[in-house]
Structure formats: structure tokens, C-alpha cells
Amino acid sequence: IPFAAMVAERLALPMTYVRKKPKGYGRNARIEGAMSEGQRVLLVEDLTTDGGSKLSFVDAIRETGASCGHTAVIFYYGIFPETVKTLADHGVALHHLCTWWDVLAEARDSGAFDAETLAEVEAFLRDPRPWQEARKKG
């Protein structure tokens, strides 16, 4: 919400909030604020991993008759290759400022971590699901 509020304020545009689930009382609405048919909406979020919650938010926006073809996030994990395609197949372009790959590059450049730690992080980034499975405690 703070990032969306900042963007809206800087662009002098209205901001509306989409809830993950209806409140369960009152209007039982997922959307707080005014959104109208034909309105173009930019979904602003702090981060995305696989894009699943973005699809839910976009669907809620579209149910009002508004359109949403873009989501802007500060941080995109960048480790699940299907994310961009999943969003694109839903008609949504993903825009992001940085990824874990950017963080890893900065960590390498800074020399703040040993080579073994950096190699382990890179192994996770290259193939996160098998990396996690191999380290599960049984």
C-alpha cells in the first residue's frame, strides 16, 4: 500500500486498494475505493515470486469493468521462469526494479560474503525447488 500511495500521490492519480480476500463483513468488498468501468489500472506491489497473487488482484480489478495490463513491483524474485509467461498469458506485463540476481551481483561486487556462501545462493537461484528438497529436514 505505501508504494502504491506514493506513486498515486506523485502522479496525482487516485489510489484504490485490492484485498487478498473480502473482509467478511460490511460491503464484503475486495476493492476499497472507487474503480469504474473503462478505467485503466496499474497494479503496484512490493514484490512478486510466482505471480499468483497478482492474477487474483488483476481478476478482482477486471471484475469492476476496469482494465489492468501492467503490474509494477519493487522486487521480483526472478527465480521462477514461468512467472513472466503466466502473467503475460493473463494479459499482464510485469515491471520490476530489481531481482535476487541483482542482489547476488551486488553481494559479489561488495566482497561482503565468502565464495561458498555466494555459490550456495546462486545454486538456489538457478534451481530453487530441487535446492529446497535436497535440504529438507526429515
For the chain, 138 residues long, the average pLDDT of each consecutive 10-residue run is 92 91 70 90 94 93 95 93 94 96 95 95 92 85
Predicted structure pTM score = 0.83
Q: Map out the domains of the chain as residue ranges.
A: 2-98, 100-138
Residues in CB range of 4: below 8 A, 6 or more apart? 15, 17, 44, 45
3-state secondary structure of 20: coil
**Best CATH choice for the domain 2-98 from the list 3.40.50.2000, 3.40.50.10210, 3.40.50.2020, 3.30.56.10:** 3.40.50.2020
The whole-number pLDDT of residue 22 equals: 77
- The neighbour count for residue 68, using CB atoms within 10 Å, is 23
Cell numbers 502522479: residue:
11
The whole-number pLDDT of residue 25 equals: 64
